Amino acid sequence: MNAKNLKARLAAVPVVLAATAGSAFAALPAEVKTETDAYKADTLEAIGMIIAAGIAVWALKKLGSKMGWI
């Protein structure tokens, strides 16, 4: 491969990247945005419940050890 051919290939790299990046930012349908937002809310609620359950278990174990139940 000669230097001229290499320069031509290297010059084409930014053009290819710009062309592919333009198609990556296509707009999503409104239904996808709505469902994604609903998923985020449901996921945050589920994670909150899991954390709350873990804290409750820890608190009951701590209380049981302090009161001599465990």
| pTM of this structure | 0.54
The secondary element (H helix, E strand) that includes residue 4 is helix 3-24
The pLDDT, as a whole number, for residue 25 is 65
Domain count, the chain: 1
> What single-letter DSSP state applies at residue 68?
T
With a cut of 70, which residues of the chain have pLDDT below it? 1, 16-25
Alpha helices per DSSP H over 25-68: 30-67
The domain containing residue 16 runs over which residues?
3-67
Residue 27's alpha-carbon distances to 18, 24, 37, 49, in angstroms, are 17, 9, 16, 33
